[in-house]
Structures are given as C-alpha cells and as structure tokens.
A and B are shown apart, each in its own frame.
Chain A
Amino acid sequence: MILVLVEHDAGSIDELSLQALALARALGEPVEAMLVGSAEAAGALGAHGVGTVHVAEDERLAAYAPAAWARCVTDLLERLEPSAVVAAGTNRGNEVLAHVAARLDLPFAANCTQVVAGSPMRLTRVRWGGSLLEEAALHGSPALLSVAPHTVAAATVDGADAPAIESFAPALDDADLLVQVAEHAETVTSGISLAEAKVIVSGGRGVGSAEGFGILEELAELLDAAVGCSRVVTSAGWRPHTDQVGQTGTKVSPDLYIACGISGATQHIAGCKGAKKILAINSDAEAPILASADYAVIGDLTEIVPAITAELRKARES
C-alpha cells in the first residue's frame, strides 16, 4: 500500500497533491491518503484512486506544525506499514517528509518525476531546479518521496467508488507542537501575485535600468499580468526580491511567460519552466533561453515591447 500525504485548503484538494497521487498510483499498489484537520475534501479523492482516507483530528492541529504532521504520518506508518509514503514537493510536503525521515532514520528523495517499484526503489529526481535529473536508488523501507511539481499529470480513475473515511487521533506531544504557526499576517497585495498570474511579463539584464521596466509594466497592465524579473535585476536593486522568478525566487506556472532581455541561466529557467508557453524577446539569437522557449522575437526589446503593446491595443479596439 502507498500512503499519500494530501494537502487541502478550505475543502479543495491542492492540485500538486493530485499530481502526487498520480505518481503514487504508478507504483501499482493500492493507494490510501492522509489528510490533516478535516474530512471535508476527502470525498473527492475517490476519483483519484484513493481507497481509504485517514483524517488526523486533534484541535491542536488547527495551525500548521510540521513535526506534528510528521507525527501523524509516523503513527499511521506504524499501524499500516505502507511500502512507500508520497507527498507533493511543496514546501510543506518536503518539510513533513524530511521530519518523518529524520525521526525514522530513513532516506528521503525529494522532487521525484518517476518511480519504479522494487527493492531498492529506483527513481528519477530533479536537480538544479529542473535543469538536471538524477537517477537514484532509495535504500530504505518504507520509501519516502515527494513529487516534483508539474512533472506528473493528475488523472482521474473511471468508475471509482467513494473512499472510506477513517479519522484517527495522533499521539502528539509538546515537542511536536513547539514549532507551530503563531501568527498569520495578511499582506495587502497590490496587483496580481506572481504565483497566481496567468501571464507574466518578466525582465532581465537587457532591460537596462529600473526605469526601463516601464514598458514592461505597461504591457503587463494591458494583459492583467504580473511583472517578474531575473536575479541580475534584484541584485542590481532595480526591483525587489518578491518580483524575482527563479530557483531561489518564486517558481511560476503561468499560461504565458514573456521573458524580455533575459539570457536564460539555469537558475532562472528553474523558476519559469512551469509555464505552459514561454516567449523570449532577446537581441541575441544564441541566448540560452531560446533552448527553453516556445516562441522568440529577436531584436531590441525597447522597440519590440511597445510595439506589442500598441498592436494589442489596436487588436482590442477592432
């Protein structure tokens, strides 16, 4: 049996957890899921091949506490003895499984794209934010692994029954709750956030200056897009780190990512390869970004970007 840690928020299952379920199913064993907090979202999991949903219930679990979540997992492990535990490669997924791995002295493979059952389990995992892959063998049981976001497609199963739902009370102790969210501060977001934008207009060294981003902002406004940038731009102080797209910035998955004057270092590609389509605007026809882009326009972005803005306005009027 494969146990999958599923994340949910206000009754809807996180898309990345559904992707994790798809990878778990590929191992060929029955799949069971664990939810923390409430059973609200449990029912929908049947369509994704889950036979039983285990819901950890305890009022102390109201706020996220990674060690407490890990305790829920280890309690289940003891009881159910799955051959593997899978989570999405989200911040929480990786964190919780790392806690489980540390507690049980087991190896843990983060951000996998493929797994093959066996002893040891063979897997392919992501390095350098996705620019490189590692084929590895996991010497431990149960196998602990997380699934790299947007590398496996979520899929529903035809004719699946609704899952059985069982709640359980994990044996939490004070140490498990030492690290727990104490406060949550809402930030007033001005504009669309990078993580949620459907279109992102992003600028790199080629934009030339902080003021140079004006033409990108204009285009972004027209498209209801967010404005992003590469690491060079934040280092130069032209834009804040919150705008940075990249391996160490925000990883984005818009429908369209427009990269203006960005050369395409792997650190940046790692952040934007989740995009459905990438359009590169660059003066250098040999820039690395073209190897990762779907479309390209070669030339001076200070001429091209305003031309696109103008063309868009014209097209909208007609």
Chain B
Amino acid sequence: MLAGALALTVALAVSGYLFGRRAKLLADLVRLGKPVERFDHVPTRIRNEAEIVLGQRKLLQRLVPGLVHAAIFWGFLVLFPTILIAMIGAVDRDATLPWLGHQGWFALLVDVFAVLVLAGVIAAFAIRKIQRPARFEGSHLGEADLILALIAGIVTTLLLWHAARIALGLNEWPASWSPVSDALSGLFGDDSVTKVLERVFVWAHVLIILSFLAYLPHSKHLHIATAAINVYFGRTGPGGRIEPLRFDVPEEEMRFGAGTVPDLTWKQMFDTFSCTECGRCQDVCPAFATGKELSPKLLIMALRDQVFEEGPALVRGAEGFEPGPLVPNAVTDNVVWDCVTCGACVRECPVSIEHVDHIIDLRRHLVMMDSRFPSESEQMLRDVERASNPWGKPQTERADWGAELGVRVLEPGDPAPEVLYWVGCAASFDERARTAAQSTAKLLAAAGIDFAILGPRESCTGDPARRMGNEYLFQAHAEQNVATLNDAGVTKVVASCPHCFNTLANEYPDFGGSYEVIHHSELLADLVREGRLEPSGGEAAITYHDSCYLARHNDVLEGPRELVQAVGRPIEMERSRKRTFCCGAGGAHMWMEERAGLINEERAREAAATGAETLAVACPFCTVMLDDGVRANGDGLRVADVSTLLAESLDTAGRGQSP
C-alpha cells in the first residue's frame, strides 16, 4: 500500500506539474490580453452556463452529433467521482470514497453512463471515419482520434476494473446493480490472475487519466477546462452590437484594434484556447461555402497558433522581442475581408467563441492604423465622411423618393412625430431599394400613422464604416445622428433597413441615443393584426429570406412572416430563421468588389429551388443582392420587400382602415 501511495503521489506530481506549468502559461497569456467588460449581467451568465454547458443547447442544434457529445459530456460529469474512487482504490484495494463509494445506486449510474460514454465514442468514431463531414476539413484529426481513444480507454478500464472486482467478490452491493460490469465479470474467474488484473486495470485507469490530464492543456481538448469559462464570459448583449472604442486617449495609447497578439482582449485569447476544431462554424459560413479563403474555424486556429508561438516570449518579457503583425502572419488580408458579419458562426459555436468580434478588431487595426483595406471601399469611406452617405450623393436629394407621395420632412423646430421613419441611405438613393420606402410610406399613411422623415438631416448611421472597422468615422456619425434625433424629441423610430435598425436599437444607446426602435416589418404586422391595414390575401407561393441582421442578430422572425402569410402562401427555405444564409452584403460587402458575387447567387438558387414565384425580403441590401443573384442565375423569381407586397395587396383590396 505504501508503494502504491508513493507511486500515486509521484504520478500525481508529474501530471500535476505538467498540467500546472501549461495552465500557468495559459493564465499568463490571458492576462496579456486587453480588458473587456464581461463581469456584468451575472444572472444571464449563469443561465447561459446552465443552458449551453450543462444543457448542451448549442451542440444539440445538430441533433445526432449533439447527442453523441452530450453522452460523453454528461457521462464525464457523472463519472467524475470515479476518478477519486479509482485513485483511492489504486492505493488501497479495500478503500473507497466515503459515502458515495458505498452507494449501490451510484454504481448503477456509473455503469449506465460508462456505457453511454463508450457508445458516444464509438458513434463519434463512426461520424469521423465513415461519414467524414466536411466541417472537419482543416482540423487536427489525429489529435481528435487520440483523445477519443483515451476516453474509450478510461471508461473501458473502469468497467473492466469493476468487472474484475465483481469476479473477486469485492462488490458491496448486488452485482446485478451494475449489470454491465456484472456481465463482463464473466470473463474473469475468482483467482490469482484476476487479482493481478484487478490491480492492472485500476492502475491503467489512473495512469490514463493522469496522462490525459497532462496532455489536456497541450491539446485542443483544453476545451474541457476552458469551454465552461468561455461560455460564462460570452456575450450577453444583443448579437448585433459591437463594443465601442475610446478615442480620447493619450498618444502612447493610440493603438486601435487588434494588430498583434497583445492587442487581443483576454476574452479573444480565451476564445482561441476554447476551440475544439469541431467545424460547425465553418459549415455555416457563407464565405467558406462559396470558396473564399475565410473559414471561422481556421481563423481561430491560426490566431491560437500565433498566440502560442509568440506568447511565451511575450509572457517572459523577452528582451527586444516585438510581436509580429497578425495580418499577414496569422491570417491573410483576404480572410479578414471575406467576412460578411452574418454571425452564423457565432450562433453555431458550442463554446461561445465570438469570431465576428475577432474579425472586427482585426479590421479596426487594418483600417484605422494601417489604412490597409480593399481599395474599392476607400471611396465609400470618403463618401460617408464627406457626403454623409456611402453613395456620395448629395444629401439634398435624400427625400426625393417621397416627394410625390407628400412624405413629411421634419424641419428643425417642428414638433416630434408619433413615429420617425428612418429611411436609410439605400432606400433613399438606390433605385431598387426605393420601392420599399415608397410602399412603407403609403402603408403608414393608409393606417393613419403620424410619421415624418428627417430627409437631408438623416445621415448614414455609420454601420458600413463600423463593419469595415472604421470605428472613428462611425462614432462621428453616431454622435451627429443622436444629436439630431434628441434635438427633435424623437422617441419612437421605425426603420426599414435591418442594418439601420440594428445600429439605432443596439448601438446608439452607447452614444446617448435611446429610442423605441421597431423594424418596419414588425410595425406593419402589428397594423395588420390590429385590422388597421387589410390585405386581400392570396395563393401565390412566396418564400421569405431572413436577413441576418433581423433574424440572427435581433430575433425578428415572426413579423415579416405574418405579412407573407397575409398576402400569399408561404414556403420556407431550409436555411431559414436563425439558420438563415446571408445575401452577401453584410460587413460592408455592399461596397467591396464582387468577390462576394457568389454568396448572393447561392442564396438565390436556394430560393428558386422552393418553387416559389416571389422571394420576399425585408432589407434593402438583401433586395439588391438577391435581385442580382436571381438575374445572374436566370431564375425569373420576383424579389420584393414585404412592405411592397403588402401595399400591392392593399391596392387590390381597397384602402386600409384608420382607427
């Protein structure tokens, strides 16, 4: 027993040292990162922890692999005490954990979950070796195989140890209470060989666990330690909101965005430690799906590799060591610019990695510090800055779309309207997006809503600048617009562009602008429900495309669907609701060269495949991109905003009702 205790102590010490040394490095690396506020909203964080970690909610978004993982994870939780039982049992064959070690029901639980874990591991191998899903492209498959093998080894040695003990009559409770171990015990006789095997199995079990412990922080399996923490510190606010930067800083602190490893926030560092290379993000990324360089998974892995490459020297404070630029050392410029900020990756990630935040911070550095970005976007940035809209058209023409309709333009000093209609630059200046604004104005008037537009005083919300990483330009516009809205006494805003909607609702509060913001599809749906607008209904097949900035970032799902229901026969695409597939214009891609030309065509094809005649949208960017996509594919689908479809339906039904 003494020898056993000594051996265990040595094993623990070695394993503990290896684990601890690595853990210290990781802790030091996290401390290198810039601060970010993630200690607020504790109740929400605890709830996320319960749902995502304990409840495996995000993993279960894909049912089969989710169940496989849940089996292994829940099994791990239940089997945790058996590690201690085994260690005690390794030193003293007849000793066990006080109380729990004597409970027969626990033995049953252990048997059941051990088998569950084994089944999970076998299923995992089947998925990886037979099904071979594409999301594993680029992942370290060998490492995964080793980890799965070690897990299998752990539960197998556990079951065999129990089986040997039952064969030797060492069980405290009826053998039938641990049926699997009991069945296995038939392999062994009550003899000296089994006595030896019983020792072998328990020591093998303990040693596999301890070597796994040492291996853990050096592998991607680190996630079992970091995932729970990463989820706790995940985003709690609206998905579409980006954390603002401060510019009133002294000269030495004029470093914006993430240019090198120490520029990453501690949460971003932690993100790189939490990635298990599962590839769910890669699977849903529209850029990756259309053959671009970007894969969210490979992005995080590349950043992780850079952190580990330079981290030790940085932590040591090595003399004269300068960290290298993340772009292009870890990732290329293309990877940074391919992203459309649709957030599909973030929605999928089971360990709450926030890929979009990484992209935005990388962009911030490239744009604001290095002036290094796609040349075709420079004109847009200059136009937003000088002409106050990304099209560079004179603001004097901003209300032209509504002139014939008699849309009221709010002048300085006018009393605030009940609702301020924020039209957005696209609907003001783009000929295809204009119809939605005209339809919306007609509908609001028909329903008797007191509304007005700002006209020339409405300047770009700054969304394209912010998504490109030009936070400085964005803030200038945010401050200006908030001042305009506050001076006008505006309290309620309806926006027909999801990007404007997102910025007004979620981002302007950071700049002193708090308004009740509603998307036009939801306001119109309310009016229809209240009977203030009476569409005539119809049988035409319509498929609705969810905008990323509505559905995924802001949970606006039902309003537009109610409108489609009211004017036709809805058909859903497979990638719908929060699983929607981007139109390709997000992340300022509306103003980038047509490298994104394939995303919109891909989505247009999916829409056409439903057999619908009309593709309904609720966003001016989606309107333009999907219309381009439909034309490129030659599909003949009509792309129309839900407001336009509703307005047309009213024209055939007769005028709507005012209260």
Q: Which residues of A contact B (CB under 8 A)?
A: 208-210, 212, 232, 235-238, 263, 265, 283-286, 300
> Is the Cβ of A209 less than 8 Å from the Cβ of B431?
no
Residues of B within 8 A of A263 (CB): 393
> When the two chains form the complex, which single residue of A210, A265, A286 contacts B431, counting CB atoms closer than 8 Å?
A286
Closest to A282 in B: B431
* Closest partner residue, chain B, to A285 (CB atom): B431
Is residue B47 within 8 Å, beta carbon to beta carbon, of the partner chain?
no
CB of A209 within 8 A of CB of B594, answer yes
Residue of B nearest to A231 (CB): B379
Given A209-B593, A209-B594, A283 and B431 contact (CB-CB distance below 8 Å): yes
**CA A236 to CA B382, docked complex, whole Å:** 11
Say whether A284 contacts B431, CB under 8 Å. Answer: yes
Count residues of B near A (Cβ-Cβ below 8 Å).
13
Contact, CB under 8 Å: B431 / A238: no
User: Is B379 a contact of A236 with CB atoms below 8 Å?
Assistant: yes
Whether the Cβ atoms of B631 and A238 lie closer than 8 Å is no
Question: Cβ of B378 < 8 Å from any Cβ of A?
Answer: yes
User: Chain A interface secondary structure, helix, strand, loop or mixed?
Assistant: loop
The smallest C-beta distance from A254 to any residue of chain B, in angstroms, reads 26
**Partner-A contacts on B (CB < 8 A):** 375-376, 378-379, 382, 392-393, 400, 431-432, 593-594, 631
A263 to B631, CA, bound (A): 22
Q: Would B431 and A237 count as touching, CB distance under 8 A? A: no
Cβ contact of A236, chosen from B376, B392, B431, cutoff 8 A = B376
- Contacts A283-B431, A284-B431 hold; do A208 and B378 have CB atoms under 8 A apart? no
Q: How far is the CA of A265 from the CA of B386 in the complex (A)?
A: 15
Q: A210: which B residues are within 8 A, CB to CB?
A: 593
Q: How far is the CB of A120 from chain B (nearest CB, A)?
A: 34
CA distance A165 to B594 in the complex (A): 63
Q: Can you list 8 pairs linking A and B with CB atoms under 8 Å apart? A: A209-B376, A210-B593, A235-B379, A236-B375, A236-B379, A237-B375, A286-B400, A300-B631
Contacts of A237 in B (CB 8 A): 375-376
**Beta-carbon nearest neighbor of B628 in chain A:** A300
Task: Knowing that A212-B594, A263-B393 touch, tell me 17 more A-B residue pairs with CB under 8 angstroms.
Answer: A208-B594, A209-B376, A209-B593, A209-B594, A232-B392, A235-B379, A235-B382, A236-B378, A236-B379, A236-B593, A237-B375, A237-B376, A238-B376, A283-B431, A285-B431, A286-B400, A286-B431
Chain A residues with CB under 8 Å of B631's CB are 300
In the complex, what residue of chain A is closest to B631 when comparing beta carbons? Answer: A300
Min C-beta distance of B373 to chain A, whole Å: 12
Complexed CA–CA distance, A57 and B226 (Å): 89
Cα-based distance from A236 to B393 in the complex (angstroms): 17
Q: Out of B379, B431, B432, which one reaches A232, CB within 8 Å?
A: B379
The 6 A-B pairs at the shortest CB distance, nearest first, are namely A237-B375, A236-B376, A284-B431, A235-B379, A209-B593, A209-B594
Q: In the assembled complex, which residues on chain A have CB atoms less than 8 Å from the CB atom of B400?
A: 286
Establish whether residues A235 and B431, one from each chain, have CB atoms under 8 Å apart when the complex forms.
Answer: no
Using Cβ atoms and an 8 Å threshold, which residues of chain B touch A235? 375, 378-379, 382
A29 to B382, CA, bound (A): 51
A148 and B379 alpha carbons, distance in the complex (Å): 31
Please indicate the chain A residues that have their CB under 8 angstroms from the CB of B376 in the complex: 209, 236-238
Q: Using Cβ atoms and an 8 Å threshold, which residues of chain B touch A232?
A: 379, 392
B458 to chain A, nearest CB (A): 19
The distance in angstroms between the C-alpha atoms of A291 and B593, with both chains bound, is 28
Give the Cβ gap from B576 to chain A, nearest Cβ, in Å.
Answer: 28
Bound Cα distance A300, B593 (Å) = 17
The residue on A at minimum CB distance from B378 is A235
CA A208 to CA B628, docked complex, whole Å: 12
Complex CA distance for A231 and B631, rounded to whole angstroms: 28
Residues of A within 8 A of B392 (CB): 232, 265
